[in-house]
């Protein structure tokens, strides 16, 4: 049996030779990047890479060795590509040709903002927190109406919910942003503190019906379970529930809504903070047709799709690791009409002017389908 120290010494010598050859290979990769700089050829050539792997593994009969060789060279080619992107990313015109860097968003006395719902909705509260009480605004019935209004140029900014700490991602919002020529330019978080409100002079003992959005009813389940005799009625949003109770004028009806909505429609608050979780926050995105990002923006949101193949998503996400970019969120969805293909929405920390962000996005853009920067905010 060979001595362990002797074996380790031999491995160390092999590793040094591999390191020297790897550095030589990376220098060749730099030369390839220079060639592609002059010819405009794409860095990623999957056909060439597959042919290379087939040549390297064709004579291997042992499965574990064959798979290991394939994995090693796939990773080496991936590293080479990322190195080439780092050499060429500053010349990528996609970001500079699509987005404008600004000191601040163009918000003035003529700015118009659209949101979904009616006055008193949490969407309206997010709008007020971001733009102030005096901003010109109007509302539309559905989420999709917000993006359609922006796309037609009938408003400067729009507000939509994107995520809730207890309910998760708001379904369909990412797809709406993707389907229209708009981008995310800001975000605002609103603490969701539901109140139980009724007509002035009402009491809990008189209540027979409770109105709210389905999420509002769900988020207050503990409180509502204490009163099984109450009929629960679902409406489009929490502000509509407050308006309905006010309009109906009956002491037997109550609403689960925001304190802002209760005051706006002249209701009396019978109980505050009736939601089960105290830490309940909804994140809203501010959207615009103008492709702008602030110099101090700190989050980039992108979308892309990859085929349903082993390691495909991993290989894309390594662009963030290689460039030391932190990922803060990832969502996935199946692509309609494209069997076993998935779309991904990813948020990362950074600014479109950061070299690391540009480098990572250059690689992802070239190696995925349907790539789009949804915004920097």
Q: Is the same domain home to 216 and 182?
A: no
Output the domain CATH number for residue 117.
Answer: 3.40.190.10
Nearest to 140 by CA among 121, 118, 155: 118
- Quote the pLDDT of residue 351: 97
Find the mean pLDDT for residues 146-152.
96
| Known catalytic residue at 284 | yes
Inter-residue contact 171 to 188 (CB < 8 Å): no
Report the C-alpha gap between 354 and 362 in whole angstroms. 12
At residue 134, does pLDDT exceed 70?
Answer: yes
36 SS3 class: helix
In a domain, 335, yes or no: no
Q: Is the same domain home to 153 and 285?
A: yes
Q: Is the same domain home to 47 and 163?
A: no
pLDDT band at 240; cut points 50, 70, 90: very high
- Quote the pLDDT of residue 322: 87
At residue 167, does pLDDT exceed 80?
Answer: no
Inter-residue contact 280 to 157 (CB < 8 Å): no
Q: Which domain holds residue 38?
A: 14-88
- Quote the pLDDT of residue 2: 84
Catalytic residue among 282, 318, 320, 368: 282
At residue 206, does pLDDT exceed 70?
Answer: yes
- Quote the pLDDT of residue 335: 84
At residue 151, does pLDDT exceed 80?
Answer: yes
Q: Is the same domain home to 200 and 182?
A: no
In a domain, 288, yes or no: yes
In a domain, 29, yes or no: yes
In a 13 Å sphere around the CA of 206, the CA atoms on its Cβ side amount to 13
Higher per-residue confidence, 307 vs 241: 241
- Quote the pLDDT of residue 93: 76
At residue 42, does pLDDT exceed 90?
Answer: no
Q: Is the same domain home to 236 and 111?
A: no
Q: At which of 271, 303, 331 does a domain end?
A: 271
Catalytic residue among 99, 143, 284, 322: 284
Q: Is the same domain home to 186 and 287?
A: yes
In a domain, 38, yes or no: yes
In a domain, 377, yes or no: no
Q: Is the dihedral of CA 167, 171, 174, 180 positive or negative?
A: negative
Report the C-alpha gap between 374 and 176 in whole angstroms. 11
| Known catalytic residue at 149 | no
Q: Is the same domain home to 184 and 289?
A: yes
In a domain, 115, yes or no: yes
* % of the chain beyond a pLDDT of 70: 99
Output the domain CATH number for residue 54.
Answer: 1.20.59.10
- Quote the pLDDT of residue 90: 55
Q: At which of 221, 240, 271 does a domain end?
A: 271
At residue 268, does pLDDT exceed 60?
Answer: yes
Mean pLDDT of the chain: 93
> What is the per-residue pLDDT across 83-127, written as a single tens digit (0 to 9) for each?
888 887 655 678 988 999 999 999 999 999 999 999 999 999 999
> What is the per-residue pLDDT across 7-31, written as a single tens digit (0 to 9) for each?
999 999 999 999 999 999 999 999 9
Please state the domain count of the chain: 3
In a domain, 325, yes or no: no
Q: Is the same domain home to 117 and 137?
A: yes
Q: Is the same domain home to 155 and 200?
A: no
Residue 43 has phi, psi (to 5 degrees) of -70, -40
Q: At which of 38, 54, 88 does a domain end?
A: 88
In a domain, 362, yes or no: no
């Amino acid at each position: 049996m060979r001595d362990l120290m002797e074996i380790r010494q031999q491995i160390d010598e092999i590793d040094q030779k591999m390191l020297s050859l790897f550095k030589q290979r990376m220098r060749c990769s730099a030369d390839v990047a220079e060639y592609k700089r002059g010819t405009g050829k794409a860095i990623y050539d999957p056909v060439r890479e597959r042919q290379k792997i087939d040549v390297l593994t064709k004579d291997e009969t042992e499965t574990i060795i064959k798979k290991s060789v394939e994995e090693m060279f796939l990773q080496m080619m991936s590293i080479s590509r990322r190195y080439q992107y780092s050499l060429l990313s500053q010349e990528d015109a996609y970001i500079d040709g699509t987005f404008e860097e600004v000191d601040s968003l163009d918000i003035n006395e003529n700015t118009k903002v659209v949101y979904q719902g009616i006055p008193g909705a949490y969407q309206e509260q997010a709008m007020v927190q971001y733009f102030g009480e005096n901003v010109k605004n109007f509302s539309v019935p559905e989420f999709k109406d917000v993006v359609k209004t922006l796309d037609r140029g009938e408003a400067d900014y729009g507000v939509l919910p994107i995520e809730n700490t207890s309910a998760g991602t708001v379904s369909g919002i990412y797809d709406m942003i993707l389907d229209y020529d708009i981008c995310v330019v800001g975000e605002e978080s609103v603490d969701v503190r539901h109140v139980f409100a009724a007509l002035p002079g009402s009491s809990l003992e008189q209540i027979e019906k409770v109105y709210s959005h389905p999420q509002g009813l769900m988020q207050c389940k503990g409180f509502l379970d204490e009163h099984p005799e109450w009929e629960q009625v679902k409406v489009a949003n929490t502000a509509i529930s407050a308006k309905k109770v006010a309009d109906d004028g009956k002491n037997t009806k109550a609403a689960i809504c925001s304190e802002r909505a209760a005051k706006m429609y002249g209701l009396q608050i019978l109980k505050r903070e009736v939601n089960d979780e105290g830490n309940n926050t909804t994140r809203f995105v501010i959207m615009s047709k103008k492709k702008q990002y602030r110099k101090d923006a700190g989050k980039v949101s992108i979308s892309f799709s990859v085929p349903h193949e082993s390691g495909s998503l991993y290989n894309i996400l390594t662009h963030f690791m290689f460039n030391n970019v932190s990922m803060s969120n990832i969502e996935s969805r199946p692509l309609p009409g494209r069997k076993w293909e998935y779309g991904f929405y990813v948020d990362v920390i950074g600014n479109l002017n950061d070299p690391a962000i540009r480098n990572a996005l250059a690689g992802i853009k070239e190696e995925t389908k349907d790539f789009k920067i949804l915004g920097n905010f």
